[in-house]
């Protein structure tokens, strides 16, 4: 748990895509501040034992306004006369009722990010900052500020930033409380947070992870990385991107594999997958063998040489599997590509794929070695333990050493035990060895048991 830090989602209506996602967070206390008061969401979900890790923040609007927590947002066409929104409710709660956190993240519901790791990473880099926002601009006069008509109290110069994803410290929250008490209202949040911070010499930073926060832009959903993205208002798209990172859901394939979706737009197909497709177990990717090598598939089949990787995968799924086409270079089960390159000087600079291809085309006909030839009973662990100069070798280094040197030097590679040695009986006849693994018991016999004349089979054992 990240010490004394919370995350708050700000939303008009809580959507289960968001709630399912936040419920899986393990390192933060999670809150959801809600505009809607048509029902009690805490009762709605907690009475069903759902989202028990999420705290829901709802207040009567009159209560917030009476306590001076209103006006953080500017009027919009959807809510032209609404003074109290989820932002105001969240600040009323954390400024007046719950001030135990040193830092609080405030995230609007049209912000996208892949996982809670982004918060962990930022918090590690900026543990003491009072305000984390995308920017910190300055407006010297009202002509320099596009929202100047909504500023009622603050005097210029003003400092501002988009704050749809931001982190505030307890110090800054206390200043906001003082402001509400003094002026009996709040000010537009994009201006209030930055201006109070600058005027009170608080620490402001602009993490690189917030640089994808924009006012109006269409983000490339196929090029999502460890940033916060705004705006992304389609929650189904949130689900698709996160799920795609795990399961590689290809929207074009989803439409091709489901005839009733062929004429859907990509966004319609994504919405369909979230609402229906996943419950119906619809296919969303061409199923190919785990060892399928698309490069080899194209090289081994002349008619596919000019296909893109995606076209080749699709071809295999639709035709190649029925035609029993080869999709991989057939190599022995014990083939070791690293050893193959080491044992063949002309291949040392080959990539692994090039070396595998070389073996398939040439090496097998030339009877080239591809593994260190070691005895069938070779025990790599014993080889290292029985030879002090090899104790810190990796298993592969030890096998290589045996092949290159040890066999000529007649180095021991196994614990020498009698032909009639029975490891199970050895452990049963010796109480102090009952919990040993077979390998530990064999080593024990070699190291101690033979000198101590310990019994290791049923012959002449009085116990049986």
**Alpha carbon distance 396, 52 (integer Å):** 49
**Residue 227: closest CA among 243, 214, 244:** 214
Residue 460 has what pLDDT?
A: 47
User: Residues 205, 177: one domain?
Assistant: yes
Residue 464 has what pLDDT?
A: 38
Residue 157 has what pLDDT?
A: 96
**Residue 171: closest CA among 131, 114, 227, 115:** 131
- CB atoms closer than 10 angstroms to residue 257: 18
User: Residues 150, 256: one domain?
Assistant: no
Contact of 212 with 134, CB cutoff 8 Å? no
- CB atoms closer than 10 angstroms to residue 305: 10
| Farthest-apart Cα atoms in the chain, separation | 104
Residue 322 forms part of a structural domain: no
User: Residues 190, 130: one domain?
Assistant: yes
**Beta-sheet pairing, 131-132 with 165-169:** antiparallel
User: Residues 123, 193: one domain?
Assistant: yes
User: Residues 384, 446: one domain?
Assistant: no
User: Residues 159, 268: one domain?
Assistant: no
Residue 144 forms part of a structural domain: yes
User: Residues 168, 280: one domain?
Assistant: no
Contact of 64 with 89, CB cutoff 8 Å? yes
Residue 202 forms part of a structural domain: yes
Contact of 327 with 296, CB cutoff 8 Å? yes
Residue 115 has what pLDDT?
A: 94
Residue 90 forms part of a structural domain: yes
**Global pTM?**
0.60
Q: Which residues of 314-351 are buried (b: 16+ CB within 10 A; e: fewer)?
A: bbbbeebbeeeeebbbebeeebbbebbbbbbeebeebe
**Alpha carbon distance 312, 327 (integer Å):** 10
Q: Residue 289 is encoded by which pair of tokens?
A: 């063998």
CATH number at residue 194: 3.90.550
If phi > 0 it is left, if psi is from -120 to 50 it is alpha, else beta; for residue 201 that is left
Residue 238 forms part of a structural domain: no
Residues near 204 by Cβ (< 8 Å), separated by ≥ 6? Answer: 129, 130, 131, 132, 133, 136, 194, 197, 198
Residue 435's domain spans which residues? 415-464
Contact of 240 with 252, CB cutoff 8 Å? no
Residue 2 has what pLDDT?
A: 66
User: Residues 115, 156: one domain?
Assistant: yes
User: Residues 173, 271: one domain?
Assistant: no
Give mean pLDDT in consecutive 10-residue pieces for the chain, a chain of 464 residues: 87 94 95 96 94 96 96 74 91 96 97 95 96 96 90 94 97 98 96 97 97 89 89 86 70 86 86 82 81 88 90 88 88 86 89 89 88 79 85 85 83 81 89 88 86 79 44
**Alpha carbon distance 271, 288 (integer Å):** 26
Contact of 138 with 132, CB cutoff 8 Å? no
Residue 298 forms part of a structural domain: no
Residues near 65 by Cβ (< 8 Å), separated by ≥ 6? Answer: 83, 84
User: Residues 58, 134: one domain?
Assistant: yes
Residue 25 has what pLDDT?
A: 95
User: Residues 456, 390: one domain?
Assistant: no
Residue 463 has what pLDDT?
A: 43
Domain C-terminal end among 210, 239, 259:
210
How many structural domains does the chain have? Answer: 4
Residue 263, CA atoms < 13 Å, CB-side half-sphere: 1
């Amino acid at each position: 748990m990240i010490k004394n830090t919370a995350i708050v989602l700000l939303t008009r209506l809580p959507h289960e895509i968001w709630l399912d996602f936040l419920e899986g967070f393990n390192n933060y206390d999670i809150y959801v501040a809600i505009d809607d008061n048509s029902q009690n969401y805490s009762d709605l979900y907690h009475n069903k034992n759902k989202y028990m890790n999420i705290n829901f923040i709802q207040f009567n609007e009159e209560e917030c306004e009476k306590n001076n927590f209103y006006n953080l947002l500017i009027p919009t066409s959807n809510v032209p006369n609404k003074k109290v929104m989820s932002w105001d409710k969240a600040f009323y709660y954390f400024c007046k009722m719950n001030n135990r956190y040193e830092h609080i993240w405030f995230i609007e519901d049209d912000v996208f990010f892949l996982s809670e790791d982004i918060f962990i990473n930022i918090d590690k880099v900026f543990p003491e900052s009072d305000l984390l926002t995308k920017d910190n601009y300055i407006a010297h006069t009202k002509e320099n500020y596009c929202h100047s008509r909504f500023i009622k109290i603050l005097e210029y110069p003003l400092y501002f930033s988009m704050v749809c994803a931001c982190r505030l410290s307890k110090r800054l929250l206390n200043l906001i409380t003082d402001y509400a008490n003094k002026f009996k209202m709040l000010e537009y949040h994009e201006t209030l947070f930055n201006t109070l911070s600058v005027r009170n010499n608080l620490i402001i930073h602009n993490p690189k992870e917030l640089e994808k926060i924009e006012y109006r832009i269409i983000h490339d959903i196929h090029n999502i990385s460890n940033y916060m993205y705004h705006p992304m208002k389609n929650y189904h798209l949130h689900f698709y991107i996160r799920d795609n990172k795990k399961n590689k859901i290809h929207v074009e394939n989803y439409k091709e594999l489901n005839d009733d979706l062929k004429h859907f737009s990509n966004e319609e197909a994504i919405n369909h997958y979230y609402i229906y497709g996943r419950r119906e177990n619809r296919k969303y990717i061409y199923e190919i063998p785990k060892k399928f090598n698309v490069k080899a598939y194209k090289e081994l089949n002349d008619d596919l040489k000019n296909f893109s990787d995606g076209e080749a995968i699709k071809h295999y799924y639709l035709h190649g599997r029925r035609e029993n086409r080869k999709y991989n270079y057939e190599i022995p089960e014990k083939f070791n590509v690293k050893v193959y390159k080491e044992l063949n000087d002309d291949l040392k600079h080959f990539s692994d794929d090039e070396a595998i291809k070389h073996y398939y085309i040439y090496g097998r006909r030339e009877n080239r070695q591809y593994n260190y030839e070691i005895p069938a009973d070779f025990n790599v662990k014993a080889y290292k333990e029985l030879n002090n100069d090899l104790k810190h070798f990796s298993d592969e280094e030890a096998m290589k050493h045996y092949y290159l040197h040890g066999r000529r030097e007649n180095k021991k590679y196994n614990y020498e035990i009698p032909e009639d040695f029975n490891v199970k009986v050895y452990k049963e006849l010796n109480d102090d060895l009952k919990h040993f693994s077979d390998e530990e018991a064999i080593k024990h016999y070699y190291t101690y048991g033979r000198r101590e004349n310990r019994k290791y089979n049923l012959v002449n054992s009085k116990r049986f």
